[in-house]
Amino acid sequence: MPKIIPIKELKDTASISLMVRESEGPVYVTKNGYDEMVLMSTEEHDRLMYEMDVLIKLLEGEAAIQRGEVESAFDSVDGIRRRYEL
């Protein structure tokens, strides 16, 4: 279940810091009942950025395959053997 707090609770920074570190996900901050911001630990942020980077690279690879910009592993190895006379 997401953690949701009103913006006025941000005054107690030590408590908020502890809450964010102990939370298994982001902490949503509301202002006048509406979403205002999201807080998360740097560890969680780094994990999400890593996952996003991997997904972007996979999508770029899939797009390169669709455009025909890659060759099979067998063709690649054959090319290396020819180039280096192996």
Q: What is the pLDDT of residue 54?
A: 98
Per-residue pLDDT at 31 = 97
Per-residue model confidence (pLDDT) at position 15: 95
What pLDDT does residue 17 have?
95
Name the CATH code of domain 3-40 (choices 3.30.70.890, 3.90.1200.10, 3.50.50.60, 3.40.1620.10).
Answer: 3.40.1620.10
Taking the domains of the chain in order of start, what are their residue ranges? Answer: 3-40, 43-83
C-alpha to C-alpha distance for 27 and 2, rounded to whole angstroms = 7
Residue-level pLDDT at 2: 85
Mean pLDDT, each 10-residue run in order, the chain (86 residues):
92 95 94 96 95 98 95 93 92
> Residue with structure tokens 């570190």?
21
Asked if 27 and 20 touch (Cβ cutoff 8 Å), the reply is: yes
